[in-house]
Every structure is written in structure tokens, then in C-alpha cells.
Amino acid sequence: SEAADMLGLMHYMDIMRLITVMETTPATSDENVTVTDTKFSHVTVRLYLPRREPGGLRRGMVYFHGGGWCLGDAGMKSYDHMSRRVSNELNVVVVSVNYRLAPQHRFPTPFEDVYAVTKFFLQSKVLAQYKVDPARVCVAGDSAGGNLAAAVAQQLLEDPEVKTKLKAQILIYPVLQALDLDLPSYRDNENKPVLPKSLMVRFWSEYFTSDPSLREAMASNRHVPAESGHLFQFVNWSHLLPEEMRKAHVYRGPTFGSAALARRYPGFLDLRASPLLASHAQLRRLPHTYILTCEHDVLRDDGAMYAQRLRAAGVRVTHDHAQDAFHGALMFISWPLDLAVGHRLFHRYVEWINENL
């Protein structure tokens, strides 16, 4: 991808997206679940409807896939496998969203797509059509999808048109802030497989622009202007992370960057991109939350800090931290590798949904 991009043959993310293409499967129903590709509010979704009689109203889930806002598809084998199992085993109507992707569709388009789908699904007439209990609906997502789920849950609280309240939000190794890209987790896992720091920085920057100046500033953690320095209180890991995650790392405080750069690309300071920047007053109204973090993951500390801030705001939080897992581990339940850790994490995820949704 780097070579093709440097030679001007193809955009970096277009090459990366070949992974998505190879993994994507058609919408195929089986004896347990009816699966269809359709549109909610003009956005493509993959809909999973349990075939068995509900014996009452069903639960509902709106799911957002990961992939750094640039990759991924609801029809990828791992996502299809997860959605199918959740729908069948827990009698859940799953709406898995194929939001538009960067760099063709930059921030805030992916957020606007997932928000439109969620708002559409939460309408009383739509919930009734699919026999979904309005008191048992959640948003969920992994990685960049966890970012979108967190942002959607926050935005719904400010929308007077939405009457249905979420019962839960499920954030699987979510990315939640773009202010500090020098957290202990970024240092510890800078060159770990699946999501090294360089790739996460590329995802972040491509979400906003292909201008390499933003990517270079983010890579050196010098992209936040001094006038936004007050926001670092929301991501100050020196008091938001437990001691075992801080380890021997020393908090150095922010090194400020160009105000002009932030004016050109203000998205990384936007709550819809960095939900961890929400105030205490905003957080306190959020629903019951499940957060999964993995030790060998640059995003580990984002989830841990959000869990701490939500608890401090009085929100019920279940924070599962997997010491032996890496970013994307849950997705490996359908891969030939058949990793035991993925099955264990998926089992815990399903168990939590069954007990709390």
C-alpha cells in the first residue's frame, strides 16, 4: 500500500480495501436468521431478523463495523458471523450499517450515516414493524465503529426528535480521541501487529484530509493548538489510567501545534470524532456501557479512560480488559486461525448482551 501510494499508482486506502473485498460475503439467509441488504434513511444496511417466534418483543442492536473509517463492510465474514450469531442466539434484530468511507467520504459523513440509520431505526413505527422492544435497544461497534457508537449515543441525548432512549452502548476496543497520540498504550504497542501506531495515525488523518501535514503533526503529537489546551483535561492519562496501565511511563503534558492546521481541519477537536472530550454533564446521561479493551493495542488507553470518566459521572460501566489480547481479536472467531482468545471474548460479549439488554 505504501509503495503504490508513493508511486502514485493508487491511494493507500484503496489498496488496503482489497482486504475488505476479499472478505465480503453476500447476504445469505439460513434456517435461523433472515439476512437482507436494504436501506435505512438512504444508507445501506445489512439486516438480520431471527426466524423463530419471539414470544414477545425482541431486542434491537445497531452495529457499526471497524476499519479506521476507511475500510470494512458489514458483509465481511467476521461481522456477518458475529451479527448472525447474536441475532439467532439472543433473538436480536441486528442492523449492521455500511456507512460511507473515507477518504472518498470524510468526516463527518461516516458519523452522519450511522446517526441517520440509528435515528430511523428508533422510530416507534420502525421498531414496531420489526417487533423490537423500544426499551431494549443498543448501539455497538468495534474500533472506529466503537468511536461511532459512542458519538451516536452522545448525540442522541441532544436530539429532541428522538423519543426512544438507548438501553446500552457496547464499545469494543474503541478509538475515542485524537488529541493525545502518545499515551502509554501507543508507546507500548507502537509496532505491534494489526494496528501499529503509524496505521492508526494514518486512519485518523485520512478521516479528515489527505494533506500530509496533518498526518506528520499527528505522528509527532504536535497537532493540537494552544487555544485548545483546556481539552487535555479530558484525556490526561496520568490520573485517568489505573497504575498497572501507566506503568513506568511519565506524563509529559501537551506539546502544542499549529493553530492554522487546526483551523483547516477542525474535525479532530469535534465531539463527533473524539467522544472522550465530552463534559462530565454530558457523560452522566449516557446509558449502561460495556467496554472491551486489549492489552496489546494502541487503543487500550482510550477505552480505559472512557470507562473511568463514565464511572466518575455515575454511569454503570462494565470494563473487560483482556491481558492476552490484541486489537481486532474478536474478529478472529471466523478466521482459519480460530484463536481461542477471540472465542472467549465473543462469549463474554454475548453473555453481557444477554444479561443487560
Q: Does residue 229 contact residue 257 with C-beta atoms inside 8 Å?
A: no
User: Residues near 6 by Cβ (< 8 Å), separated by ≥ 6?
Assistant: none
Q: How far apart are CA 161 and CA 311, in angstroms?
A: 28
For 295-316, give the DSSP string: EE-TTHHHHHHHHHHHHHTT--
Q: Does residue 314 contact residue 282 with C-beta atoms inside 8 Å?
A: no
For 79-121, give the DSSP string: HHHHHHHHHHHHTEEEEEE----TTTS-TTHHHHHHHHHHHHH
Q: Does residue 47 contact residue 94 with C-beta atoms inside 8 Å?
A: yes
| Catalytically annotated residue among 223, 288, 296, 327 | 327
CA neighbor of 200 nearest in space, from 215, 210, 213: 215
Nearest 5°: the CA angle 13, 325, 184 is: 75
| Catalytically annotated residue among 83, 143, 185, 205 | 143
**Catalytic status, residue 87:** no
Q: How far apart are CA 292 and CA 14, in angstroms?
A: 29
**Catalytic status, residue 327:** yes
| Catalytically annotated residue among 73, 142, 182, 297 | 297
**Catalytic status, residue 143:** yes
Q: How far apart are CA 33 and CA 47, in angstroms?
A: 10
So which residues are the catalytic ones? 143, 297, 327
